[in-house]
A and B are shown apart, each in its own frame.
Chain A
Amino acid sequence: MITKIKLPAVPQGLAIGAARSANRLSQKLKRGGGTTIGGLVLNCLRPTATSEMSKAISDGIILVSGTNGKTTTARLIRAALNACDFRVVANTAGSNLERGVSNALLDADKANIALFEVDEAALDGLMVKTKPRVVVLHNLFRDQLDRYGELELLVDRWHTAIAQLPTTTTVVYNADDPGITYIASKHAQTLTYGVDDPRTDRGGLPHASDSTHCRYCDTPLTYDMVTIAHLGRWSCNKCQRQRPKTDITATKVDLHGLAGQRLSAITPQGPTEISLRLPGLHNSYNALAAIACTSALELTLSDVSTTIAKRRAAFGRAEHIKVSNVRVTTLLAKNPAGANENIHTILLDSNLDLKGHIHLLLLLNNRTADGRDVSWIWDVDYELLLNCNRLTSLTIGGDRAYDMALRFRYAGLDTSRIKVLMPIPAAFDAAINSANTHGGLYVLPTYTALLELQELLTKRGLTTAFWEDT
């Protein structure tokens, strides 16, 4: 095990050289495009390398973290930075732990700014090491309880780490999340964002929401408006704390199913209107976070708006492909909050499609990167799909397909309507066959199931490999 070797620290130049060689070797061997091995080697040979290399980046480091939306948000920010002529180094290939960040920093000599998407459990450590210029705290939902432990523990860790940040760091945060507000609001420099359009109100908290009690006095929070999970316009009746005033505010959100949305926002630089290609309210939040972050970096609002309007969804985040005349839309669903957003988006989309048939393919794996515990599927409101009476076919695949089948049986779906095929290629083909007659196919995979699906589609020449996706 490479991580167990304890060596005296190697000079930086030598450590970087060794890390780069490791990446070249890994790429030659075609092991995952060499996205982390260099970082692993670097951290092992010289534990202080991440800090040292961070200091060398002239325009600073940006960290983006949260349970959901960090990949898309980071992509939007990166596009804006590129458009404003920054030379950006980023961990775009998917490793968002410290080794992925260190690995990306191997290219720091070509860049003047760094942008990292950071895993929730790695954020506190990386905040200390990189002393970022901007940190974006997007949201915290229950996710992979076997790995992260209780949400409360992450909240405590982030809270402690934020208190240690230099006052020069700007903390950009989602004011609609009461837990995030508790973590961030005391910092010296902050910029807040949130959604204010009353039409986005879901009318109440969904099942199994988190952060619904006041952090200060334990009273259940009151909501004037609920958007996603426990996000919304919240306040505490007892200690009078409430959602802070937002610096970047979505005043109008018009969702157009999977086609995208029209977003109107007020910002410190004035109002903006953007036609986003990204669907769903969760992407409204991603866009707001990107606008807030670039506002903290003092980029020009019109440049940012024009750029993010052009961005398409990343693989597995609501982009479509055509497979034998079926429109296939893949929506990564790895936790209750994300899966619920996908369901809302599907309902809206299929409503716009005159045929209104929903063909669904659910792919449930429980490997390490997915979380081993499959309990979370019982917290997703799949009932919304059943209640709309438009679910025409349901196919289920993946290692834990039968757990998902039980979820639908006990939601009241006749078991004769549930098709279970554990191997993902077989499940995919069966779902395409079912969808051939009407409507489109919506695929909701967990993370490793998404990778398997992408491998399958790449093999069939229908999409590109993961680390080539930018």
Chain B
Amino acid sequence: MSPTAAGSPTCADTTIGAGIKICHLYPQLMNIYADRGNIAVLRHRMAERGLKSEVVEIGLTTPIPDDCNLYYLGGGQDRDQLAVSEDLTAKAEPLLKAAANGAVVLGVCGGYQLLGHSYTSTKEFIAGIGLLDLETTADTNRLVGDVVAEVTLNGKTQIVVGYENHAGRTHLGPGCTPLALLQQGHGNNSNDGGEGAVSGKVLGTYLHGPLLPKNPWLADTLLAWALEHARNPVKLTPLNDQLENAAHEVAKTRTRRKK
């Protein structure tokens, strides 16, 4: 019996020409905050431009390929995160190699924590893969709510919106910088005004909602990087983002009004 009977967002391309290869890590276990929405956005924004994308799904015990252009790791419950940690730390080599060669990596929530050195929950110590120089420790109260933050990538600054829900407090080492500066929300540790982390083309964030549908600029930035890595540096044509912009505005104004 196939583990997923009902349809995932459909884009059935399996060949790769002028396009990218996406590696979706642990879609069965790390999917708590609708991570498939992020994958759907990446694929759809390629398809609408006539570009190809192939998604490889990696579960427990399947090896990670080293030839993907974008790696995605979503959020999971503590229990699932522990199972993933044991598996991922044992087989992370190809991922680390790809990242060192400029592949894009995005970790969200639990996935973000696992990109760091470790996550110490109230019950156990969960090892990460150390791709980002950061450590996370769980506190008893969760940091929950809407987030508005400013992200600068490729010399361009934009507002991103999202939702956060995490017990972890993340502290960054010198090897990475915050992905975003908070305008609203708790971010990494509700202390230093930083949200997420970035080092080269490796990104981590607590923002879901999911992240990419309401922040299409960020999605396109990741796609442009992935295309460069695939040696297909296509200029991405603008898409009709009316719905995206409206959703972004609603999220932003509702968050600010609450305060």
Contact = CB atoms under 8 A, between A and B. Distances in A.
Interface in B51-105: 77-80, 83
Q: Contact residue range for chain B?
A: 35 or more
A469 interface: no
Nearest to A202: B5
A324 to B, nearest CB: 29
B40 interface: yes
The residue in A226, A373, A383, A399 that gathers the most chain B C-beta atoms within 10 A of its C-beta is A373
Contacts of A203: 1-2, 5
A212 B60 CA distance: 14
Interface in B1-42: 1-11, 28, 31-34, 36-37, 40-41
Contacts of B3: 204-205
Contacts of A145: 32-33, 165
A379 B165 contact: no
Interface in A124-156: 142, 145-146, 149-152
A60 interface: no
Nearest to B40: A410
Interface residues of A, number: 46
A215 B28 CA distance: 17
A226 B41 contact: no
Nearest to A147: B144
Interface in B139-161: 142, 144-146
Contact of A415 (B78, B79, B242): B242
B243 A375 contact: no
A379 B208 CA distance: 13
Contact of A409 (B10, B243, B251): B243
A285 to B, nearest CB: 19
Contacts of A205: 3-5
A378 B210 contact: yes
A120 interface: no
B236 interface: no
A203 to B, nearest CB: 5
Contact of A150 (B5, B32, B36): B32
Interface of B: 1-11, 28, 31-34, 36-37, 40-41, 44, 77-80, 83, 142, 144-146, 163, 165, 208-210, 213-214, 240, 242-244, 246-247, 250-251, 254
Given A146-B144, A203-B5, A403-B251, 15 more contacts: A145-B165, A152-B77, A202-B6, A207-B6, A208-B31, A372-B145, A375-B209, A379-B31, A387-B10, A399-B254, A400-B250, A402-B246, A405-B247, A407-B213, A409-B243
